[in-house]
């Protein structure tokens, strides 16, 4: 599936240019000169460091939610963060408030937000075999941050920070009743294209990442291994790598260059010990234990896409039996049960997801919809309010808040919600529903 199907490359590029123009405008036309920390030369900069930090602080929790939340293993999160911090400390921008996390997407991806906020997916960590491979991917992202690549390349969505495009995408296909809930959950984890780096930027980030690895005591061969893993997966499961490759073009030329660079580093680093396999295996033990359950979940999503909802439900159920502590799998199970008309069971599964991970948008949203379907309006509103806090401004959340108000006889609150939905969405069953009600109640003329 192509995210921007129908968009030509030229259109995409002009979209980025417009994005930057919008940003310059938003900043009052300030385009200051900053010194590039890597090259030491002056560079046109569209945002001050302060603005960069603010953008990162604001966007990090949102993008974490959009990537299906955190992988719920605190020890692993600490481990990944400590490796990232070690590399960041020896980078060209050691003083940023870096943060590193593992998000729960099955895709193979890693991305850097402004200000040194960096995420790697569960899918990518699961594919790795040692700490040096992980350090290689994190070091590469730090390289982009250190060399200020993002200042020119972040897409409009990142800068606007509004994420309204995400809500729109979800709503185009969302049906009014619980049907389509699975598709909505999937779409809410949209793979936003964060940046499109050039080949030269990729080459520079590769070099920087490997240097940082060496300074932190890692065998830089780990990075070459990570690239080889990605190339290998691209042949086997290209769809899982789409967002990574769209921002980090990977070519055999890059792999060859990185391979050649290895001889520049001292022999004391180029040892199997400096790949640090044992510590990595220990830290990822739980992830590797639940990964087969996530594979079942992903098969269930595919079955759902192919219209086989019965098989999908079976796969989700089996996945929750294998990994009963994984909230995201319970969310999919709940959505599938809801679509199968098993209302009571569905709500129980959704509540299970919420109790395992109260701050996961997808769990709160699905629980909110299912509680509404079960006519438990107070409970539904509690979940939807939490969902609104986790990813603000999603029109489908506002829509279900309105449906609850309407069912509770709070017509004015309902009208306000439906009006807010119509301000964001003009087409599709949800917009039609809101429009009809507002006309019916005399808030709009038909
Ligand atoms: Zn890159």
Whole-number Å distance, alpha carbon 64 to ligand 1 midpoint, is 19
Give yes or no for a contact between 300 and 182, defined as CB atoms under 8 angstroms apart: no
- d(C-alpha 290, C-alpha 287), whole Å: 5
Strand pairing report for 32-35 and 99-103: unpaired
- d(C-alpha 132, C-alpha 139), whole Å: 10
- d(C-alpha 306, C-alpha 39), whole Å: 51
The pLDDT, as a whole number, for residue 5 is 37
User: Which of helix, strand or coil describes residue 337?
Assistant: helix
**Average pLDDT for 171-196:** 53
**Average pLDDT for 21-29:** 39
Place of tokens 């890059």: 254
Whole-number Å distance, alpha carbon 112 to ligand 1 midpoint, is 9
The pLDDT, as a whole number, for residue 159 is 55
The pLDDT, as a whole number, for residue 46 is 62
The pLDDT, as a whole number, for residue 35 is 79
Whole-number Å distance, alpha carbon 298 to ligand 1 midpoint, is 26
The pLDDT, as a whole number, for residue 6 is 38
Q: At what angle do helices 199-215 and 131-146 cross, to 10 degrees?
A: 120
Whole-number Å distance, alpha carbon 48 to ligand 1 midpoint, is 22
Whole-number Å distance, alpha carbon 140 to ligand 1 midpoint, is 6
Rounded to whole angstroms, what are the CA distances from 432 to 86, 178, 382, 435, 438?
53, 16, 25, 5, 10
Go through the domains of the chain in sequence order and give each one's CATH number.
31-155+192-283 (no CATH), 285-440 (1.25.40.10)
The pLDDT, as a whole number, for residue 128 is 98
What is the DSSP code (8-state) at residue 191? Answer: -
**Average pLDDT for 414-432:** 91
Whole-number Å distance, alpha carbon 34 to ligand 1 midpoint, is 22
Instruction: Summarize pLDDT for 169-179 with one digit per residue, the tens.
Output: 443 334 333 44
Whole-number Å distance, alpha carbon 332 to ligand 1 midpoint, is 32
Whole-number Å distance, alpha carbon 152 to ligand 1 midpoint, is 14
Instruction: Summarize pLDDT for 309-321 with one digit per residue, the tens.
Output: 899 999 999 999 9
Whole-number Å distance, alpha carbon 116 to ligand 1 midpoint, is 14
Strand pairing report for 110-113 and 117-121: antiparallel
Whole-number Å distance, alpha carbon 265 to ligand 1 midpoint, is 21
| pLDDT value at 184 more than 70 | no
Whole-number Å distance, alpha carbon 197 to ligand 1 midpoint, is 6
197 closest CA partner among 206, 189, 210: 206
**Which of 65-79, 127-141, 182-196, 377-391 has the weakest average pLDDT?**
182-196
| pLDDT value at 358 more than 70 | yes
Q: Average pLDDT, whole number, for the chain?
A: 85
Whole-number Å distance, alpha carbon 390 to ligand 1 midpoint, is 28
Whole-number Å distance, alpha carbon 283 to ligand 1 midpoint, is 25
Whole-number Å distance, alpha carbon 71 to ligand 1 midpoint, is 23
Whole-number Å distance, alpha carbon 435 to ligand 1 midpoint, is 45
| pLDDT value at 19 more than 50 | no
The pLDDT, as a whole number, for residue 164 is 43
* pLDDT class of 202 with cuts at 50, 70, 90: very high
Helix extents (H) in 67-130: 74-89, 122-127
Whole-number Å distance, alpha carbon 97 to ligand 1 midpoint, is 20
96 closest CA partner among 140, 143, 146, 58: 146
| pLDDT value at 193 more than 60 | no
Strand pairing report for 117-121 and 42-45: unpaired
């Amino acid at each position: 599936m192509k995210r921007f199907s129908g968009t030509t490359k030229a259109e995409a590029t002009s979209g980025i240019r417009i994005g930057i123009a919008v940003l310059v405008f938003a900043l009052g036309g300030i385009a200051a000169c900053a010194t590039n920390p890597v090259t030491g030369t002056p560079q046109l900069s569209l945002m001050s460091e302060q603005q960069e930090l603010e953008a990162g602080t604001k966007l990090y929790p949102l993008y974490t939610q959009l990537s299906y939340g955190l992988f719920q293993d605190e020890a692993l999160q600490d481990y990944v963060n400590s490796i990232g911090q070690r590399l960041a400390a020896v980078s060209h921008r050691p003083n940023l408030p870096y943060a590193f996390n593992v998000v729960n997407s099955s895709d193979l991806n890693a991305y850097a937000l402004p200000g040194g906020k960096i995420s790697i997916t569960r899918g990518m960590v699961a594919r790795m075999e040692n700490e040096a491979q992980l350090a290689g991917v994190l070091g590469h992202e730090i390289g982009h941050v250190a060399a200020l690549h993002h200042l020119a390349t972040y897409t409009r969505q990142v800068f606007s920070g509004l994420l309204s495009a995400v809500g729109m995408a979800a709503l185009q296909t969302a049906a009014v009743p619980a049907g389509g809930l699975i598709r909505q959950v999937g779409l809410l984890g949209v793979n936003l294209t964060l940046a499109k780096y050039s080949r030269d930027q990729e080459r520079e980030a590769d070099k920087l990442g490997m240097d940082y690895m060496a300074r932190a005591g890692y065998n830089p061969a780990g990075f070459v291994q990570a690239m080889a893993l990605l190339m290998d997966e691209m042949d086997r499961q290209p769809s899982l790598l789409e967002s990574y490759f769209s921002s980090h073009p990977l070519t055999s030329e890059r792999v060859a260059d990185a391979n050649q660079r290895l001889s520049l580093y001292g022999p004391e680093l180029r040892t199997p010990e400096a790949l640090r396999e044992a510590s990595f295996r220990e830290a990822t033990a739980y992830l590797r234990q639940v990964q087969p359950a996530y594979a079942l979940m992903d098969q269930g999503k595919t079955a759902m896409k192919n219209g086989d909802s019965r098989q999908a439900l079976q796969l989700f159920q089996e996945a929750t039996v294998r990994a009963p502590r994984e909230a995201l799998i319970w969310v999919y199970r709940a959505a599938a049960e809801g679509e199968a008309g098993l209302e009571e069971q569905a709500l129980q599964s959704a509540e299970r997801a919420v109790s395992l991970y109260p701050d996961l948008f997808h769990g709160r949203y699905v629980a909110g919809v299912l509680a509404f379907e079960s006519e438990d309006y107070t409970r539904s509103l509690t979940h939807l309010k939490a969902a609104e806090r986790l990813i603000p401004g999603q029109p489908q959340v506002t829509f279900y808040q309105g449906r609850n108000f309407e069912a509770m006889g709070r017509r004015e609150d309902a009208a306000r919600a439906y009006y807010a939905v119509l301000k964001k969405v003009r087409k599709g069953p949800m917009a039609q529903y809101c429009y009809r009600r507002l006309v019916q109640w005399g808030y709009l003329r038909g």
